[in-house]
Amino acid sequence: MSTTSTALMTAEELMQLPDDDLRHELINGELITMPVPGLPHGRTEARLGARLTQFVLDHDLGEVFTNSGFQLTWNPDTVVGPDIAFVSKERLEQAGDVTGYWQGPSDLAVEIYMPGYRPGKVSERISRLFSAGTKQVWIVDLKHSTVKVYRSDSDITTFSGSEYLEAPDLFPGFRISLDKIFGPTPGAVNDSQEK
């Protein structure tokens, strides 16, 4: 459950908030506060983020970030923190040294959703990212073990079951089995092991 304050805030003020063990974003100057995600979320973020990071580094494509701020609008300010984000090498070189939030959208934003997220909020988030210039949004749905790759609000590819997640237009050659993202927790007992 997230809460919203009514006083408008700037990105600079957001950056100065004390560490309170919560996650914060700004949407048109309004502070949005969210609880820290649970272990299934973190495990999925680590599994996908590690594979994507390794691929991006191996192919010198840019940088992958986790839980980092991207400022999408100014006056009023909007700062979002995708679970995983990618920025191309070309854009990184143009920006030079960055302190604070990245000024503009990421090329890729990955959002990991737990059961209970409202579809309307997810659609709103996707539209906001595309309006700012994000090239792709990946929605990782933990409840259904699916990944939806959005290239626009209407161009969507869904990966599920034993399929491999691929996005050749952004990461040619990147391919990861959904089992590697959603697979069982190491040490967990599955039905075939029970006697």
pLDDT score, position 63: 97
In total, how many domains does the chain have?
A: 1
Tell me the per-residue pLDDT of 149-158, one tens digit each, with 9 for 90 and over: 999 999 999 9
25 located within any domain: no
143 located within any domain: yes
Mean per-residue pLDDT, 177-192 = 72
44 located within any domain: yes
Structure tokens belonging to residue 188: 């967990």
195 located within any domain: no
What does each C-alpha distance from 161 to 56, 177, 184 come to in angstroms? 25, 9, 14
Q: Is the pLDDT of residue 21 over 90?
A: no
Q: Is the pLDDT of residue 182 over 50?
A: yes
Tell me the per-residue pLDDT of 100-152, one tens digit each, with 9 for 90 and over: 999 999 999 999 997 777 888 899 999 999 999 999 999 999 999 999 999 99
Q: How far apart are the C-alpha atoms of 60 and 148, rounded to whole Å?
A: 25
108 located within any domain: yes
pTM for the structure as a whole = 0.89
30 located within any domain: no
191 located within any domain: no
What does each C-alpha distance from 15 to 31, 43, 182 come to in angstroms? 12, 26, 33
Tell me the per-residue pLDDT of 42-97, one tens digit each, with 9 for 90 and over: 999 999 999 999 999 999 999 999 989 999 999 999 999 999 999 999 999 999 99
Q: What's 46's domain CATH number?
A: 3.90.1570.10
- Residue 73 forms beta bridges with which residues? 78
DSSP state of 126: H
Q: How far apart are the C-alpha atoms of 62 and 111, rounded to whole Å?
A: 19
Domain containing residue 53: 37-182
109 located within any domain: yes
- 144: CB partners within 8 A, 6+ apart: 160
- 55: CB partners within 8 A, 6+ apart: 61, 171, 173, 174
